[in-house]
Amino acid sequence: MEGERKTAPAASSHAEPIAPGRTYHEGEVLGGKYRVERVLRTGGMGIVLVATHLQLQEKVALKVLDGHAAGESAAVARFLREARAATRVKSEHVVRILDFGTFDSGEPYLVMELLEGRDLRDVLQQNGPIPAGLAVDYVLQVCSGLSAAHALRIIHRDLKPANLFLAETSAGQPIVKVLDFGIAKALEPERLALFGNENQTLTHATQLLGSPVYMSPEQIRCSTKVDERSDVWSIGIILHELVTGATPFTASTISGLLAAIAADAPLSLRTSLPDAPAELEKVILGCLEKDVERRIPSVEVLAERLRAVAASLAGASVRVEGDTDDTPPRRGRRGRAIAWFIAGLALTMALLAWFRRASRATGATTNAEPIHEALPIADACTDCDGESAPGSEAPQARQAKSRARSSRGARDTCHRLRNECNGTPKIAPFAAPFDSWEKGRLCEPSWRKRNGFGRS
């Protein structure tokens, strides 16, 4: 990954830092099994520590509810909701919850896998907009994690770049994980046990929970009346921001921002990024339909459309790279086999034509002498119109006359023999001249004898 890597928790609120309710010291053991290594981050609801599990000797992220918030029943309930929700969702693109509970001192805690990397908010701040193909890949991973949550009818409701963490797999490949299910919502009554009874009273209709920039119009109106499509809206905002560096709705005040989200059209992607693919802009606009019935209905459908965009972007990248190289594109095995076959066939035909011309030339040279010897004898040939040829009508001539009248083929033979062998000026209209090879064959004595045109 670009930029400086940092150790970060698998989940944190990313709110403005405040002073924690108590101080944690390096080497302090919490709950009898977690030794504090250092403070990683503080937030509006608590503090995140890097700690070592004493029995497993493994580093973890330990999130402890701040002393001020620990006294608020709603905050405690929301904290435990995050633990239960994230524990149930099984996906490599959702943070792993390893343990949760309450310390003897009364603070609730949550133990998560410790991730190396940065959240996407930090990536944007440090590196600026992300290339479209890479941004689509990141969002596809987010869709995979949310799909597992939505299958349990759990809605995140607080998606934003700060809650999407970019880490690396053991093979060094980038991986995005969804963090912070602190205000997640269970949609079905039978799922309420997942969160406990606090799910019924924790969120009031008048409360505004979530980050306003990424909230859907229906979530602004009523935080409790949302479904999976509210998360789809948030993904559309995030994707627009990843590739442009700005969100599609802006205002100078919170009230103005909420009004813009509820009533205004989003800023066009290609207004901010003219060379952005039209297919990508279409997908983002499908996420940002204010009418939920017209919005992309699920993260699965969104992922399918994003995969098509990714394929289009990959194809365009290959074409651009090919334009800078004068080397012709490589053919596959089948294409090479066809090319070799055509070349071999052409060579074979050329050789056959050459041998044929050579044999004709040899035949003409060999039979040149018999042609001259046969010319006087060809006077015995009969005129094909029924008149006798010059000289007496010998038996051979009568035979030729009979054959000439019997068929068109014999008629052609008679005229050709007369014109080519005897040299008379009379030319039959349907008789084509012989070439040298045919003269040698038709006018030689052996052929005339066999066909009744005189003795050899």
Reported as half-sphere exposure (CB side, CA atoms, 13 A), residue 278 has a value of 0
Helix extents (H) in 264-394: 269-272, 278-287, 299-323, 333-366, 368-374
| Rg of the Cα atoms in the chain | 46
Among 45, 50, 70, 54, CA closest to 8: 50
Instruction: Write phi, then psi, for 29 (nearest 5 degrees).
Output: -105, 125
Among 376, 416, 383, 375, CA closest to 400: 383
Q: Which tokens belong to 376?
A: 């006087």
From 119, 158, 180, 383, active-site residue: 158
Query: Would you say the C-alpha torsion 433, 436, 442, 445 has a positive or negative sign?
Result: positive
112: left (phi over 0), alpha (psi -120 to 50) or beta: beta
379 is catalytic: no
Reported as half-sphere exposure (CB side, CA atoms, 13 A), residue 135 has a value of 26
Tell me the DSSP string of 387-453. Answer: PPPSS---HHHHHHHHHHHH-HHHHHHHHHIIIIII--S---TTPPPP-HHHHHHHHSHHHHHHTTS
Instruction: State the catalytic residues.
Output: 158
